[in-house]
Amino acid sequence: MKRNLTCIICPRGCSLTVELENGNANVTGNACSKGAEYGTQECLCPVRTVTSVLRVSNRRDTMVSVKTAVAVKKDDIFRVMEVLKNTLVTAPVEIGDVLLQDVFGADIIATKAVK
Amino acid sequence: MIYDVAIVGGGVIGGMVARELTKYNLSLCILEKENDVACGASKANSGIVHGGYDPEPDTLKAKMNTLGVEKLFATAKQLHVPILRNGSMVCAFSAEEDKTVQELYERGLKNNIPNMKTLTGDEAREIEPNLSGEIASVLWVRNAGIVCPYDLTIAAVGNAMDNGAKLFLNFALAKVEKENGLFQVTSANGETVTANYLINCAGCGSDKVAKLCGDDSFTIIPRGGEYLLLDKTEGQRVSHTIFQCPSKEGKGILVSPTVDGNLLTGPTAGVVADPEEKAITQAGIDMVTKLSAKSVPSVQLRNVITSFTGVRSSEKNGDFIIGFSEKCENLLNVAAIDSPGLTACVAIAEYVAELLKNAGVELSENKTFNGNRENPHAFRSMTDEEKDAYIKQHPEYGKIVCRCEGVSEGEIRYALRTNPPARDMDGVKRRTRSGMGRCQGGFCGPYVMKLIAEELGIAKEEVTKNGAGSHMVIGKL
Amino acid sequence: MTQYDIIVIGGGPAGMAAAVAAYDSGVKNIAVLDREEDLGGILRQCIHNGFGLHKLGEELTGPEYAARYAQQVAERNIKVYYEAAVTNVTADKIVTVQSREGLLKFQAKAVILAMGCRERSRGALNICGTRPAGIYSAGTAQKLINCEGYMVGKRAVILGSGDIGLIMARRLSLEGAKVEAVCELMPYSGGLTRNIVQCLEDFDIPLYLSTTVAEIHGKGRLEGVTIARVDANRRVMEETKRYIPCDTLLLSVGLIPENELTKCAGIAISALTNGAEVDENRQTKVPGIFACGNVLHVHDLVDYVSDEAEIAGCGAAAFVKGELNANKTISVRAEGGVRYVLPQMVHTDCGHDVSLFMRVAAPTGKVRLVVKIGDAVIAKAVKLKTAPGEMEKITVKADKLAACTGTITVCLEEMA
């Protein structure tokens, strides 16, 4: 199987071609080694950091922004969102507080303080 | 409750008629189909106090225009509506148009218009340096002015309400019945109002209102006019209202400062199928762009901040229709009020009172009538020292919500509390100018939504741009 | 009248970094004026990550990046006025502020303008059609969703493929809305490749280039838009018109530096950058008034805003201390392939290296960025690829600069 990707590591945006065979990826079109790494990861197990907001139950119209502490599998993005959608948090919240643990492999941490 | 008079339409005519009638001991209501007053022609027009040289002599238009100018200046002052006598100029670009200017001058004399003068192009450019070099002659009309039409309408309705008139919003007429000589007026929502007299000031809907009463004697032709509004950086481009001569191409495009310091140019003039469909067209934008540059070549049209379409209600005979219906007793039509309707509004209102009196309505003086309205723009016009003192008493005036127009939280809350209270985003915008500046509400929108929700005691999901079906957000995340 | 050595107008990333840098340069009597309840500016609503890679060496979200600088402000004895909107600045550096405490007037020795920018609105675009609810600038929608927790619509079209538009395409998708299309008037996207991949491709959102929204439909709430391809003159091609039903239209069609106060102080605005013209210290032509961040020119990355703000902060501090004594000024001009360059003026006797920042006029492949004085090259750099959406930088060495007379020009030279 062959996939064409645009490398996002630097502004150059190389057009990568990734050949997938027996769980191995062969990347061509990359100008640097980071491009090869990106191409491999993106084809074998693409991951993304998810950022969103959670409602703060004890403050009026207040949201706290959050992120996954590590990138989650791309296929799990909407599953993570579903969990976040149904989560309320209580202020005070500090930046870095772990608000949820192990949501599809990642802790959900606050990126904003709510006093 | 039986109202002596129900006025259909909360535009500048309905508003001024209501205000005029509150001078007498009458119970009054205004029936407005939208979520706010001034939503039809009174929202979007040129905002010109016309000198009065244009209407054919001996028409109602000529009479009301001539009478109306000074009456409007006086009333606007009482209502604290900014009005400016900046004068107007009608420009001729050819020998043929020179003749038109001369004709307009002579017509103006017949209409008893004071202080007119014809100028050569050079004389005009001395007064107004940015006029096109192509302009050959000019009719200079010094009694003309500018006023903000929705500001005037809101103030008129507000003052009428302060003096006892009741305002029904979202009251679109669905049915009119006569019972024991009384009008039973039912809205699309099923609300009913009973009244002795019905005054039809329904603008583009006035023929439909008349028809509901069994009067099909006139048909309104809605005419759309597209405008471009430019940033205040263009506001000083001209000080007069600059007209072109009426010609085959139409009535011509005007270029005028506004009382708020912007520059307005337009309108186009095309018949529109649906007066509710106020759409801007590329052809309209192109035409306004081209023709405004004809009068004032230096106008920088890249500084447009918004474009809008107004719909005027005209009629085939070309004159105002003001009088009792021949088909329906006690129905008074005030219809086909296109230009110079804004200029004439106070004169029309007084004329309506006279017609009622002649019809036998007892008009006894309302001793408690107060024609002065509290100035909603008082804060805006204060000096820095006065503002400082005022903010120390009223801290909410210290919080700037709309940075482009410098509108404070206090002014917005005031607009949500004062007659006629704003009920939606557009209502706040028309009353305070919040969201009317360069960013067009980008920054202040969310905060204004919050204030509306707080003042009306509703959820943010219920806040609308301009009434039912125009919600700003669809719900919480 | 309260006196400050330095007044910083705006507490976003530029204002915070400028205040901190000025303080650390030894000027301690500093006030930051911000119209919001919190420092951070627009970063407060940019909950996505990707901030700080250059400046802080780690990837942060907007609120985190803002918090780092807010913390630095808090650790210093810098006075911050919240909900304080500046209504006037004079060339004499008298600053008028409207706040809940009253209409305050301050006298400063130096002023740093850091007011940021605003989004271009629908009005400026002259899109035909009606004026229903449901049309937002991308940033307004971002604020409603991320800060207040309200969803703006279910089915959206986005006009403009700048980064905010792309980020919002993803954000709406994550919150369950269907993004039908992102339309871009130009034949190329204004956004970063990374955002095209992660915000559009990840969610199967089509990007239509050379395409615009030709008409808006709907009375109360938006009901749909007509999109169409544009020709080389950016005029709509009638035969390509296509209707897309939607209840939301987001506009991400450019940012405009907010220079109303700059004009109050009598500072002319450049038609190229929409900001003031400045020297290597980010000092405007009015002595003692400095500018930095998006009020000066629109940046692609906040990291560069912080860098620029530090230059302005140090410059303002030096001005207050009487240390800005260089007086040999020459101008810097953008030429072939470069849309603008900043700073627009340089003191050849400033005694340090000066970095020039620029935007290219159109996307290119491999090019050489060349800085010249007359025909002599004083700096050059090879770029594998450039795009108008990304800022380029090149540094001129102090010794090269010291020898310059005339005008410095910057241009692109094609490479085989």
C-alpha distances in Å from residue B92, one per residue of B105, B116, B245, B339: 12, 15, 6, 21
Predicted local distance difference test score (pLDDT) of residue A90: 96
Report the alpha-carbon distance of residue C151 to residue C143 in Å, rounded: 10
B residues 253..272 contacting C (CB < 8 A): none
C96 vs B384, B441, B443: nearest CB = B384
Question: CATH number of the domain at B384-462, please?
Answer: 1.10.10
User: Measured between beta carbons, which residues in chain A are less than 8 angstroms from residue B450?
Assistant: 61
What is the maximum alpha-carbon separation in chain C? 65
- pLDDT tens sequence across B243-290: 999 876 566 799 999 999 999 999 988 777 777 767 888 888 889 999
pTM above 0.90, yes or no: yes
Report the alpha-carbon distance of residue C68 to residue C71 in Å, rounded: 5
Architecture of domain A51-110: Roll (3.10)
Domain B1-83+147-220+315-373 class, CATH top level? alpha beta
Domain with CATH 3.10.530.10 in chain A: 51-110
B398 vs C102, C145, C147: nearest CB = C102
Chain A: list its partners (3+ Cβ pairs within 8 Å): B, C
Q: Is B229 on the interface with C (CB under 8 A)?
A: yes
C-alpha distances in Å from residue C170, one per residue of A36, A111, B158: 26, 19, 46
Predicted local distance difference test score (pLDDT) of residue C339: 96
- pLDDT tens sequence across B125-150: 999 999 999 999 999 999 999 999 99
Predicted local distance difference test score (pLDDT) of residue B436: 85
**Is the CA virtual torsion B31, B34, B36, B37 positive or negative?**
negative
Cβ <8 Å between A111 and C192? no
User: Measured between beta carbons, which residues in chain A are less than 8 angstroms from residue B477?
Assistant: 53, 55, 63, 85
Write the CB contacts of B455 (distance below 8 Å, at least 6 apart in sequence): B413, B416, B417
Q: Return the CATH superfamily for domain C1-118+255-325.
A: FAD/NAD(P)-binding domain (3.50.50.60)
> Closest Cα of chain A to C51: distance in Å?
12
A63 vs C64, C149, C198: nearest CB = C149
Active site includes B50?
yes
User: Measured between beta carbons, which residues in chain C are less than 8 angstroms from residue B308?
Assistant: 131
Task: Give the amino acid at B19.
Answer: R
> Among A56, A60, A61, A88, which would you mutate to test the B interface (most chain B Cβ atoms within 10 Å of its Cβ)?
A61
Q: Is A13 on the interface with C (CB under 8 A)?
A: yes
Cβ <8 Å between C67 and A112? yes
Cβ <8 Å between B398 and C131? no
End-to-end CA gap in chain A: 52
Predicted local distance difference test score (pLDDT) of residue A21: 86
User: Measured between beta carbons, which residues in chain B are less than 8 angstroms from residue A61?
Assistant: 450, 460
Q: Is the pLDDT of residue C189 over 70?
A: yes
Angle between the N-to-C axes of helices B12-21 and B149-162, in degrees from 0 to 180, rounded to the nearest 10: 30
Q: Is A81 on the interface with B (CB under 8 A)?
A: no
Cβ <8 Å between C140 and B392? no
Give the confidence band of A11 by pLDDT, cuts at 50, 70, 90. low
Q: Is B477 on the interface with A (CB under 8 A)?
A: yes
Report the alpha-carbon distance of residue C277 to residue C269 in Å, rounded: 7
Report the alpha-carbon distance of residue C416 to residue C405 in Å, rounded: 32
Q: Is B476 on the interface with A (CB under 8 A)?
A: yes
User: Measured between beta carbons, which residues in chain A are less than 8 angstroms from residue B460?
Assistant: 61
Question: CATH number of the domain at C327-416, please?
Answer: 2.60.40
Give the confidence band of C390 by pLDDT, cuts at 50, 70, 90. confident
Domains C1-118+255-325 and C121-253 are alike in CATH topology: yes
> Closest Cα of chain B to A63: distance in Å?
10
- CA-wise closest residue to C42 among C119, C126, C133: C119
B88-142+222-310, CATH topology level: D-Amino Acid Oxidase; Chain A, domain 2 (3.30.9)
Give the confidence band of C261 by pLDDT, cuts at 50, 70, 90. very high
The matching CATH number, chosen from 3.50.50.60, 3.40.30.10, 3.40.605.10, 3.30.1330.80, for C121-253 is 3.50.50.60
Give the confidence band of C320 by pLDDT, cuts at 50, 70, 90. very high
With beta carbons less than 8 A apart as the criterion, state whether B390 and B380 touch: no
Q: Is A85 on the interface with B (CB under 8 A)?
A: yes
Give the confidence band of C54 by pLDDT, cuts at 50, 70, 90. confident
Domain with CATH 3.50.50.60 in chain B: 1-83+147-220+315-373
B473 vs C119, C122, C151: nearest CB = C151
- Give the DSSP per-residue string, B178-200: EETTEEEEEETTS-EEEEEEEEE
User: Measured between beta carbons, which residues in chain C are less than 8 angstroms from residue A95?
Assistant: 63-64, 67
